[in-house]
Every structure is written in C-alpha cells, then in structure tokens.
C-alpha cells in the first residue's frame, strides 16, 4: 500500500513541478517511511497557491483555502495539498491568528511540532531535514521544533501528541521537551475534550502503551484529563496495565469496573463520547458481569458482537488471570445454536398462544429472552414444539 501511495503522490508532485512549482511529501508519511511503518495517507506541501492547484488538477475540493489547503482527488485517492506557510499568534491555543504563505519549504517545516514530523521528501526520495528529525528518529527521541514552551503554548494538544507518539513508537521524550510539558500541562484545560479524546484513544491502542502511560503520569498530564484527574485508583491501575486497549470504549468500561460508583454515563459525558460508544461500554460491562460472576460463557459470547471482541478480551484479562482469547470467543460464537433472536423457532405470537388468558404486555418479551437464553445455553433445542412445552412447564 505504501509503495502504491508514494507512486501516486510522486505523480501529483511531478504534475505540480511541470507547472514550475515546488512540491514535497511532508510530515508523518516521511517519518513512517523512514521507520518502515505502514502508511495510509500522504500530505503534500507546495509553493503553489490553492488557486494554482485548482488550475493544475481537474478534481480539487477546497477544504481549507483560508489556510492554503485543498484536497486533490486522483484515481480514487485523496491527497491533501497545502501551500508553504508560516503562522503567528495562537490566542485560542489552537488556530493561528495569521497565516502567511511563503516560498521556502524549510520555513514551512519550522512551524511543525516535532523534529520527526518536520521532514519533507522530494520525488527522488531525497529527505529535507533542517531540524535533525532523521537523527532523532534513529535515536528514538521525540523533540520539539524550536522553543518547546512556545510550541506548547501555540497548541497545548502537542503535549498529548508527544505522549501518544511515545505509546505508538516506543520513543523517549527529549529532556528539554519533557520539562516544557510538565511546566505547561495546565494549558491542556484550554483544549476541547474531543481533540484530547482522539489522542487519548491512540495512546491506549499503542504498541508501547505502558511507556506512554508512564510518560502521561510522569508529566502530570493525567491531572488535566476528564474524570481521570479525580480517580487516584484509576491512575494507579493504569500503571499496571499490560495490554493495550483496542478502543476508547474498552477504557471507559474498564474505568467503570474499577469505580462502579462512577457510572458510564458520567465518563461518556465528560469525554463527550457518542451514544454508540456509551452503549458499547455498557454492553461490555454487562457481558463482563455475566462471565465473571455467573460463568455463563455461551450467553456472554452470544451477547457480544464481533466488533467488540478484542475490546472485551482486553477488559476481561485486565481483571482476571482466567485464560481468554479472541480465538476462544470466536470459536464459541461459531458453535452457538443461534446467532440472534430472529433465529428462534418461536416468536411473540407463539408465546401468547401458550397463555391465551393473558393480555399483551412486557411478559412476552421477558419470555422470549428467557427462551433465547435457554436455547443459547443448550437447555432446550431450538424447536417450536419443545420450546412451547418448556414455557408451559416453567410458567414464568
């Protein structure tokens, strides 16, 4: 995928250059190329203005012309192309008060956060590295470009990004950058929770999560994160986590299980999660309790959708030494007698026939759920006649 993407990106660059402009691949794609990591998207920087790019290419989406950014579509791929620029003033700790277009790639790179991201690549694979990013990558160091205090005051989210990159790459943070993060951690309170949540989830899913979490606690950033700042027990347990969480949902379920008196709704509200994330976290807790307290493997696995299996395994194994793997859960799921209530050989009308004297009510759904659970657990066969007999005998 990476070679294919680079090939297409170089064609875009060649087309820009044929119109007498400069163009380079910039940022994370260059870093990940040097690290031999997978690359899913490529950004391009150029001295051409958005108006020039719109003349050169047929399919251009003006996503951020004010800041010099457009999206070029080519063979079902999208490339974000931004004009070289310098920025000044960050009153809201996020957006520059002014943006000035420039003609020098090195001046453009000087505004970026870390040296490993302040890299550019020409279409002959030559790397432009004015701030020592390549040597920092080799040394596995996360270092701010320029004065770290100034860069963090421009956008305090860079503190979370530093910790997140440590979790993803296993890199250490440069001592001067580390001190700046500790000094400016309070500025995180100026940042929208939604932006922090994106970085937090990436941190939790990182291959070197323990390193990232250690850095989070060492810098004091945790003291400015929603609800986490209030729960010392959750902070302490973070130090003991061994396996990355596959999702924010898994973290919220885990945190609630540690502090049951803080409902999932509170975590979801503070972190501004979606209703789906909230539902998923509640379901993870429900399945956890069924398995942990009642040891009902089949019923627990039946209730667990495939998209949440990895999250559940991470949560469950953080609380118990009982062996559980994704493979085991998938195997159990494959061998269940049914995969949904719709596959029951009985429905609400059939249940009503068993009790003709009763009026419609919630008892019908209650019966169906009991039947569903009994079939899943192998207590009865999924046969309408046998189910009806079972309902009459149970009379619930």
β-bridge partners, 82: 45, 69
**Annotated binding-site residue? 143:** no
- For the chain, the three-class secondary structure string (H helix, E strand, C coil) is CHHHHHHHHHHHHHHHHCCCCCEEEECHHHHHHHCCCCCCCCEEEECCCHHHHHHHCCCEEEEEHHHCEEEEEECCEEEEEEECEEEECCCCCCCCCEEEECCCHHHHHCCCCEHHHCCEECCCCCEECCCCHHHHHHHCEECECCCHHHHHHHCCHHHHHHHHHHHHHCCEECHHHHHHHHHHHHHHHHCCHHHHHHHHHHHHCCCCHHHHHHHHHHHCHHHHCCCHHHCHHHHHHHCCCCCCCCCHHHHHHHHHHHCCCCCHHHHHHHHCCCHHHHHHHHHHHHHHHHHHHHCCHHHHHHHCCHHHHHHHHHHHHCCCCCCCCHHHHHHHHHCCCCCCHHHCCCCHHHHHHHCCCCCCCCHHHHHHHHHHHHHHCCCCCCCHHHHHHHHHHHCC
Tell how strand 77-83 and strand 43-46 pair up.
parallel
CA 203, 194, 61: angle at the middle one, nearest 5? 100
C-alpha–C-alpha distance, residues 61 and 71, integer Å: 5
Q: Which residues contact 38 (CB under 8 A, 6 or more apart)?
A: 1, 2, 32
**Annotated binding-site residue? 43:** yes
**Annotated binding-site residue? 158:** yes
**Annotated binding-site residue? 28:** yes
**Annotated binding-site residue? 164:** yes
**Annotated binding-site residue? 161:** yes
**Annotated binding-site residue? 112:** yes
Binding-site residues from annotation for Mg(2+): 41, 43
Q: Which residues are annotated as a binding site for CTP?
A: 28, 31, 112, 155, 158, 161, 164
Which residues sit in the known binding site? 28, 31, 41, 43, 112, 155, 158, 161, 164
Give the residue ranges of the annotated binding site for ATP. 28, 31, 112, 155, 158, 161, 164
């Amino acid at each position: 995928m990476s070679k294919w993407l680079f090939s297409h990106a170089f064609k875009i660059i060649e087309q820009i250059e044929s119109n007498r402009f400069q163009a380079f691949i910039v940022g994370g794609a260059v870093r990940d190329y040097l690290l031999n990591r997978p690359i899913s998207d490529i950004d391009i920087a150029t001295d051409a203005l958005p108006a020039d790019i719109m003349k050169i290419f047929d399919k251009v989406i003006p996503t951020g012309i004010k800041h010099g950014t457009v999206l070029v579509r080519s063979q079902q791929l999208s490339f974000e192309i931004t004009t070289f620029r310098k920025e000044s003033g960050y009153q809201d700790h996020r957006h520059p008060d002014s943006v000035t277009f420039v003609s020098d790639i090195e001046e453009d790179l000087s505004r970026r956060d870390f040296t490993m991201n302040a890299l550019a690549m020409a279409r002959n694979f030559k790397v432009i590295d004015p701030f020592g990013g390549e040597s920092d990558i080799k040394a596995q160091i996360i270092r701010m470009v320029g004065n770290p205090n100034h860069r963090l005051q421009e956008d305090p989210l860079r503190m979370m990004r530093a910790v997140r990159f440590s979790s993803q790459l296993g890199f250490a943070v440069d001592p001067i950058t580390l001190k700046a993060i500790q000094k400016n951690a309070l500025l995180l309170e100026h940042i929208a929770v939604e932006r922090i949540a994106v970085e937090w989830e990436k941190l939790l899913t990182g291959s070197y999560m323990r390193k990232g979490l250690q850095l989070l606690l060492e810098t004091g950033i945790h003291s400015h994160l929603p609800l986490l700042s209030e729960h010392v027990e959750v902070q302490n347990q973070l130090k003991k986590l061994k396996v990355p969480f596959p999702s924010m949902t898994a973290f919220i379920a885990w945190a609630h299980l540690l502090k049951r008196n803080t409902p999932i709704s509170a975590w979801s509200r503070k972190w501004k999660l979606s209703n789906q994330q909230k539902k998923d976290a509640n379901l993870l807790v429900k399945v956890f309790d069924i398995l942990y307290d009642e040891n009902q493997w089949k019923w627990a696995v039946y209730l667990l959708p495939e998209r949440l299996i990895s999250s559940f395994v991470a949560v469950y194994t953080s609380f118990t030494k009982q062996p559980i793997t994704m493979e085991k859960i998938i195997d159990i799921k494959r061998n269940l007698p049914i995969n949904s209530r719709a596959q029951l050989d009985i429905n609400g009308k059939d249940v009503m026939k068993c009790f003709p004297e009763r009026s419609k009510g919630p008892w019908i759904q209650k019966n169906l759920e009991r039947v569903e659970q009994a079939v899943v657990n192998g207590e009865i066969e999924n046969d309408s006649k046998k189910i009806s007999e079972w309902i009459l005998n149970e009379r619930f």
